[in-house]
């Protein structure tokens, strides 16, 4: 049986949960997903799309050379990672369930973390 995190990270097939179960399980994995968009459907259902929090499509800007050294803050630039993992969550009001499915253009988050160029480093101060 899949763990809760694996179930939400490797969404290969659509699955449904009761609203109560979803709220309990989502609390354990929502720190990895960021809301991308969402809207209400005509029948009262709500649909939201979430993207991987590691997604950062652009490189960070560089330092401004005209700032005196005593005013510079110590920063660490996060490398740009093209994490394409996306999931769509639909709250079905009539049946009191929640449907979780992978957005077709996305890959699984596990593959991104495993094969991506994710480099974690401690900034040197």
Distance of alpha carbon 16 from the chain centroid = 19
pLDDT in tens, 33-83: 889 899 999 999 999 999 888 776 566 666 677 878 777 777 766 666 667
CA distance 73 to 69: 9
CA distance 79 to 54: 10
Query: In this predicted structure, which of 6-20, 59-73, 103-117 has the lowest mean pLDDT?
Result: 103-117
Percent of the chain with pLDDT over 90: 34
Assign 3-class secondary structure to the chain.
Answer: CCCHHHHHHCCCCCEEEEHHHHHHHHHHHCCCEEEEEEEECCCCCEEEEEEECCCCCCCCCCCCCCCCHHHCCCCCCCCCCCCCCEEEEEEECCCCEEEEEECCCCCCHHHHHHHCCCCCCCCCC
Hey, where are the domains in the chain? 4-57+76-115
> Average pLDDT, whole number, for the chain?
77
């Amino acid at each position: 049986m899949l763990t809760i995190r694996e179930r939400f990270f490797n969404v290969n097939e659509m699955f449904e949960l009761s609203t109560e179960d979803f709220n309990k399980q989502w609390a354990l994995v929502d720190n990895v997903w960021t809301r991308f968009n969402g809207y209400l459907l005509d029948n009262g259902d709500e649909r939201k799309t979430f993207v991987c929090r590691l997604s950062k499509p652009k490189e960070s800007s560089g330092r401004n050379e005209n700032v005196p050294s005593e005013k510079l803050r110590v920063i660490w630039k996060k490398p740009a990672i093209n994490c394409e993992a996306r999931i769509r969550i639909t709250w079905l009001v009539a049946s009191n369930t929640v449907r979780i499915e992978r957005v077709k253009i996305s890959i699984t988050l596990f593959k991104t973390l495993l094969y991506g160029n994710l480099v974690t480093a401690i900034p040197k101060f």
